[in-house]
A and B are shown apart, each in its own frame.
Chain A
């Protein structure tokens, strides 16, 4: 079983719609969770971080975490063509002194104008 799993997509949504991206992880001891956006040929940029169960909103983005289900999601409201990118879910995992970030394979999002 992969440590962090995402649907590779592509996920296509019309402009103005809500895009929903999902991620599951295997390490129950994981403490923090992140969503990064990566444009083709570029390095990832941080969109959201979430540390506790529930929802966290930042502008058009909402991250949701359910540790019992080992599930993290990202909602993008009012999707724009500029949101078209690959979205990477990352999990901070490990033990004291050896924390590291493990990435999912990413979900490619296409927002259709």
Chain B
């Protein structure tokens, strides 16, 4: 199956600093990638849809100035959590869909990034 690599797997940062998370599709190209956040014992909440070469589409309630998304190429999207605070501590997961497979097909997930803000 398609491989999505997310880096780093975990990160601890100080309150007020910024953290960048990378999501790469290793063996396919993806015009669209998705960023999710998951709090303990809760489901995945879609934060934004990242589109290659254009602005991301954010879900209602997600601060676009706090969660900066850049999708600079067909294989890389980044999420930057700016001015992180303890309440931003969560499991962040990206997913990507193969550009060749069509809009209705499955998306594949990265391994996730556990962010802890202290």
Query: Is residue B43 within 8 Å, beta carbon to beta carbon, of the partner chain?
Result: yes
A88–B104 touching, CB < 8 Å: no
B46–A101 touching, CB < 8 Å: yes
B77 to chain A, nearest CB (A): 14
Chain B interface residues toward A at CB < 8 A: 1, 6, 32, 34, 36, 42-44, 46, 49, 57, 91, 93, 95, 103-112, 114
A101 closest partner in B (C-beta)? B107
Among A41, A42, A44, A96, the most chain B Cβ lie within 10 Å of the Cβ of A44
User: CB within 8 A of B93: which of A31, A43, A51?
Assistant: A43
B44–A44 touching, CB < 8 Å: yes
Given A43-B6, A96-B103, 13 additional A-B pairs, CB 8 A: A41-B91, A42-B112, A43-B112, A46-B1, A88-B44, A98-B57, A99-B32, A100-B46, A103-B36, A103-B43, A104-B43, A105-B42, A106-B43
Q: Provide the residues of chain A in CB contact with B1, threshold 8 Å.
A: 46
Q: Provide the residues of chain B in CB contact with A102, threshold 8 Å.
A: 46
Tell me, in angstroms, the Cα distance from A44 to B1 when the chains sit together.
14
Query: Is residue A45 within 8 Å, beta carbon to beta carbon, of the partner chain?
Result: yes
Q: Considering the complex, which residues of chain A in the window 64-113 have a beta carbon less than 8 Å from any beta carbon of chain B?
A: 88, 92, 96, 98-106
